[in-house]
Amino acid sequence: MLIGLTIRDIVLIDRLSLSFSGGLGVLTGETGAGKSILLDSLGLALGRRSEAKLVRPGADRASITAEFDLPDDHAVLALLDENDLPKEERLILRRTVSADGRSKAFVNDEPVGVGLLKQIGERLVEVQGQFDQHGLLDPTTHIDLLDAYGGLMGKREAVAALHADWAAARRALDKARATAVAARKEEDFLRFAADELDKLAPQPGEEEELSERRSLLQNAERLTEAITAAVDFLTGNDGADEGLRQAQRALDRMADKMGDLLNAPVASLDRAAVEIEEAVGELNRIGADLDADSSALESIEERLFALRDIARKHGVAVDDLPQLREDFAQRLSLIDAGEETLAKLETAAKQAEKAFADAAAALSAQRQDAATRLDAAVNAELPPLKLERARFTTEVEQLEPSRWTALGSDRVGFTVTTNPGLPGGPLDKVASGGELSRFLLAIKVALAEVGTVPTLVFDEVDSGVGGATAAAVGERLSRLADRLQVLVVTHSPQVAARGKAHWRVSKAAGNDGRMATSIDSLDPHHRREELARMLSGAEVTDEARAAADRLIEGSRL
């Protein structure tokens, strides 16, 4: 709820700080005293459009700070998380407006766009009768309010899940149809290309393997010469092999005279002889392989160039040819077995549509029932509010399948008629200003259990009524305030007497001769005087004070 509002240099307000509590708070004062300025200031803090004319003459800028205390599960906190904004013990919204009309917005001292500030503000305070249309005057919110009133949000979530399934099935079917159409258009090409790739049968990593083999064979002559030379060095008359044998014979002649002293070098020479023999054998094998593959260079190059040519033709890398071959095969399978595949997808889409349609129809029936109950609840509130000839209707319209959404198959709208026999219409198009506020009050009372905005503001909801009707307005505002924080600007003493807190707005000339608006929180004595003034006018009489006492006492019953 709103717990504080600080205003600096807004029109006639110089400096002002207000504290708020729960329940019903009332603001009273003479016409023109500046009550609307207070609501304009609150609207700026909530993201309303700013104007340079709101800045007090002579000031460089105006500033408004609104402070809120929220429960741990309030939707605004999730919005703060989504936008990486800090969560503090209190939520503080601040707006500044410079003399040239430029404004800045802050949430918990972090700069934000005015659009985000407005999103946050709409979740905190709903003002009836003063600001741009939103809340109950926004038809897009009516289906949410009806579903919440009827306890249907869980069923609506199930319908939304079925709608998502249906949409996914339609997308799969549409994609398969588009793929099949495209495939048929290029069927000849696909069959030729697939056949060409089938004959070539490219293998993963084949290009690298062929390139290495080709490079080897291109250097086969030089490699053979190197191998021949190496073998000669190892096995020729003066080669390493002959030297080792001579060394071994020389040491063998002395072995019986040296005991174990020559064992280690003799063993090393033996191992060297074995290693040389193995090396010579491996070199001879490589040489033989080169001789055997000397005629394979041409076929290797032919294979490599064929792979590169077909890869270039299809605009892919050689290593991607096996996957391309598989893609072509799949696209051809869609053509060959397309009718069966499409039939299965069509069946799945129809089943998903039916599941959604059945669930949406059940939800629609429950909405109709909830609408009947809501209409009865709202219409029961209208006669005491001097709207006995008016009717409130919740219209649940069945939509064409092409207009079905995740919300179901319905369009929901609140309509009113102020006189029997006349067609109904949107709230703000049919009702006059005073009637509209009372309609909205009646609806709010009926929907009090399902509202999500913690603070409601009514601007002159009692306009044009008095006596018993004004008392009925006050009684309903008081009932609302049992569940929500309600602030009301009023000229009715019957409404003002219901307030848990009472502020008086007044205007007077300051020391500099300029008019300034001030707001005073009234104690019981001054509250009685204000109610007496509202009852009697400029001259407060004892009779008016006695009537004020009766109103205050009656509001406690």
Q: Tell me: the pLDDT tens digits for 410-436? A: 999 999 998 887 788 887 777 766 678
Least confident of 16-20, 130-134, 413-417, 516-520: 130-134
Encode burial over 55-64: b for 16+ CB neighbours within 10 A, e otherwise: bbeeeebbbb
Residue 396 tokens read as 């649940």
94 has which bridge partners? 65, 106
pLDDT score of 131? 43
pLDDT score of 361? 96
**How many residues are listed for the chain in this entry?**
557
pLDDT score of 259? 64
Give mean pLDDT, residues 85-106.
92
More confident residue, 78 or 133: 78
Give mean pLDDT, residues 91-99.
94
Give mean pLDDT, residues 214-239.
68
More confident residue, 488 or 555: 488
User: Residue 135 — very low, low, confident or very high, per pLDDT cuts 50/70/90?
Assistant: low
Q: Best-predicted range by mean pLDDT among 82-96, 239-253, 353-367?
A: 353-367
Nearest to 414 by CA among 123, 131, 146, 133: 146
- Mind listing the pLDDT tens digit for each residue in 485-526? 999 998 899 999 999 999 999 888 877 778 888 899 999 999
pLDDT score of 220? 60
Output the pTM of the full model: 0.66
Q: E strands within 102-201?
A: 103-107, 110-112, 125-128
Q: Cα(35)–Cα(461) distance, rounded to whole angstroms?
A: 14
Give mean pLDDT, residues 165-172.
96
Cβ 93 vs Cβ 107: under 8 Å:
yes
What homologous superfamily does CATH list for 1-124+453-465+485-520?
P-loop containing nucleotide triphosphate hydrolases (3.40.50.300)
pLDDT score of 3? 94
- Ordered by start, the domain boundaries in the chain are 1-124+453-465+485-520, 180-338, 523-557
Nearest to 412 by CA among 431, 398, 429, 428: 398
pLDDT score of 79? 92
pLDDT score of 441? 87
pLDDT at residue 454 above 50?
Answer: yes
pLDDT at residue 371 above 60?
Answer: yes
pLDDT score of 333? 77
More confident residue, 137 or 157: 157
Nearest to 493 by CA among 502, 484, 483, 481: 502
- Mind listing the pLDDT tens digit for each residue in 372-414? 999 999 999 999 888 889 999 999 999 999 999 999 999 999 9
Q: Cα(165)–Cα(354) distance, rounded to whole angstroms?
A: 11
User: Residue 137 — very low, low, confident or very high, per pLDDT cuts 50/70/90?
Assistant: confident
Q: What percent of the chain has pLDDT over 90?
A: 38
User: Residue 181 — very low, low, confident or very high, per pLDDT cuts 50/70/90?
Assistant: confident
User: Residue 293 — very low, low, confident or very high, per pLDDT cuts 50/70/90?
Assistant: low
Continuous segment of H or E residues that includes residue 6: strand 2-10
Give mean pLDDT, residues 437-461.
84
pLDDT at residue 28 above 80?
Answer: yes
Dihedral of the CA atoms 341, 343, 348, 353 (nearest 10)?
Answer: 140
Q: Cα(442)–Cα(439) distance, rounded to whole angstroms?
A: 5
At how many degrees (to 10) do helices 153-185 and 142-149 cross?
130
pLDDT at residue 112 above 50?
Answer: yes
- Mind listing the pLDDT tens digit for each residue in 302-317? 888 888 898 899 899 9
More confident residue, 187 or 232: 187
Distance of CA 270 to the CA centre of its chain: 79
Give mean pLDDT, residues 40-69.
90
pLDDT at residue 92 above 70?
Answer: yes
